[in-house]
Amino acid sequence: MAGPTFQALPGFRDFIPRECAVRNYLFETWRATARRCGYVEYEAPILEDTSLYLKKSGGELSAQLFRFEDQGGRDVTLRPEVTASLARLAAEHQRHFPKPLKWFEIGQCFRYEKPQKGRGREFYQFNVDILGEAGPAADAELIALAIETMLAFGFVAGDFVVRVSDRHAWIEFASRHGLAADAIPEFLGIVDKIERDKPEILAAKLAALSLTTAQVREFIADPANASPAYLAIRADLTARGLGAFVELDLSIVRGLAYYTGVVFEVFDAKKSMRAVAGGGRYDTLVATISDGAVDLPATGFAMGDYVIRNLIEETTHTAMQLAVWLQRHAAACDVFVVVADEAQRAAALKLVTDLRRAGIATDLPLTAAKVAKQFQSAERSGARFALVVGAEYPELKLKVLASRSEESGTAATAVAWLTARLLEPDGPLFA
């Protein structure tokens, strides 16, 4: 191990085949669920002008940017989120699409943070947004997808809950207590930390705004403070049969500065207290990004791959669903060709090509090897069948690897034979 050793940068991951398969399970579930609900996929650049993020995302995010100067002297940043890019994209292209836009994206984001459980410097996000519809029906439709996604992973009632709030409720609270409009962002920041700040610090912060902890806690505790938008969303989701997954939680405010109304988070019902997904309404972001050229109301959420994967693997029934999926997708090929006689390798190569062109996933050993070793390779590949090409060619033997039974056929009809055979069950096992 002399000299420099190379490894992945801190917070970055290698996806060896099994890890990649788990990742793809998330991707395929996300994608299938979004499509099922009428969303279309888009993608945005992974690298953007830094100013896109400095303007409106706000808060800690600007301190966590993977930011550098490119060779043309531009100040650029690997995206920490995609909402800003989406707003830019939407402002530029929205004319070409009927409203509302129901768009989703699956891609990598980057934040320069200290890696720990559930968080790396690089992560994948499932981003879903509805643009061009200002009413609560859009928020309900969006939250419905968040719930359907959880259900698609195998979570059931009791495993998770969507906590919904509305910044409008707090804005009303603030104005009723005489807070200036420009003090509201700071106030929301205090509410956001109400469960995390020490009581005396919390009290001091609120006192600066002439408020008390008791006033804020009372407001959170009273269901009567639910906003009209929340009530409409709840009624909508109840009609869908999803009402049981939603609850009011006015303590949810969320950190990002651009949220303007309804905000929500999907929580693990067990005490992990970590949001699996979060989002909300951002009605002014598109206008801000486009300098007022386009005014498009919007609502969206993001689900990160770290947390959802942890939750899936820590929950018995969802972990089993993942295991079944991995099992079903683990095979490297359907048919493994065994070259029992090297003199027939040319025939085997032709056969492999024919099978592959017929759409049958086929593999073969690249160098001469003992038959026993080739069967081991076949076994490990996960293939259902081993097709033996030997001295008796063009006669072929087909071994069903699971049952160890053997069948015969000829090279001339191999493609049709195997195509049909792959559609049939393997029959009884006799070991």
Partner RNA sequence: GUGGUCGUAGUUCAAUGGUAGAGCCCCAGAUUGUGAUUCUGGUUGUUGCGGGUUCGAGUCCCGUCGAUCACCCCA
Residue 306 binding RNA, by CB under 7 A? yes
Residue 379 binding RNA, by CB under 7 A? yes
Return the amino acid letter for 79. R
First-to-final CA distance of the chain: 46
Residue 209 binding RNA, by CB under 7 A? no
| φ/ψ bin of 393: left (φ > 0), alpha (ψ from -120 to 50), beta (otherwise) | beta
Least distance from RNA to the Cβ atom of residue 125, Å: 6
Query: Helices 184-192 and 199-207 meet at what angle, rounded to 10?
Result: 170
User: Cβ distance 56 to 258 under 8 Å?
Assistant: yes
Return the amino acid letter for 311. L
CB proximity list for 421: less than 8 A, separation 6 or greater: 385, 398, 407
Structure token digits, residue 47? 């690298």
Residue 169 binding RNA, by CB under 7 A? no
Torsion angle, CA of 331/332/338/342, rounded to 10 degrees?
A: -170
Least distance from RNA to the Cβ atom of residue 400, Å: 7
DSSP structural state of residue 119 = B
- Total residues contacting RNA (rule CB under 7 A)? 64
Report 70-129 residues binding RNA (CB under 7 A). Answer: 81, 111, 113-121, 123, 125
Rule CB under 7 A: choose which of 295, 392, 407, 426 binds RNA.
Answer: 392
Least distance from RNA to the Cβ atom of residue 394, Å: 12
Residue 375 binding RNA, by CB under 7 A? yes
Residue 390 binding RNA, by CB under 7 A? yes
Report 340-359 residues binding RNA (CB under 7 A). Answer: 340-341
Structure token digits, residue 208? 């600066």
User: Cβ distance 145 to 277 under 8 Å?
Assistant: no
Q: What is the distance between the alpha carbons of residues 69 and 253, in angstroms, rounded to a whole number?
A: 34
Rule CB under 7 A: choose which of 7, 14, 224, 291 binds RNA.
Answer: 7
Q: Which stretch binds RNA (CB under 7 A): 43-51, 133-141, 161-169, 372-380?
A: 372-380
Least distance from RNA to the Cβ atom of residue 407, Å: 11
Q: Which stretch binds RNA (CB under 7 A): 1-9, 174-182, 285-293, 313-321?
A: 1-9
Return the amino acid letter for 68. F
CB proximity list for 25: less than 8 A, separation 6 or greater: 322, 325, 326, 329
Least distance from RNA to the Cβ atom of residue 221, Å: 22
Residue ranges that bind RNA, judged by CB under 7 A: 1-2, 5, 7-11, 59-60, 64, 81, 111, 113-121, 123, 125, 192-193, 196, 254-256, 274-278, 302-308, 340-341, 370-373, 375-376, 378-379, 386, 388, 390-392, 397, 399-402, 404, 406
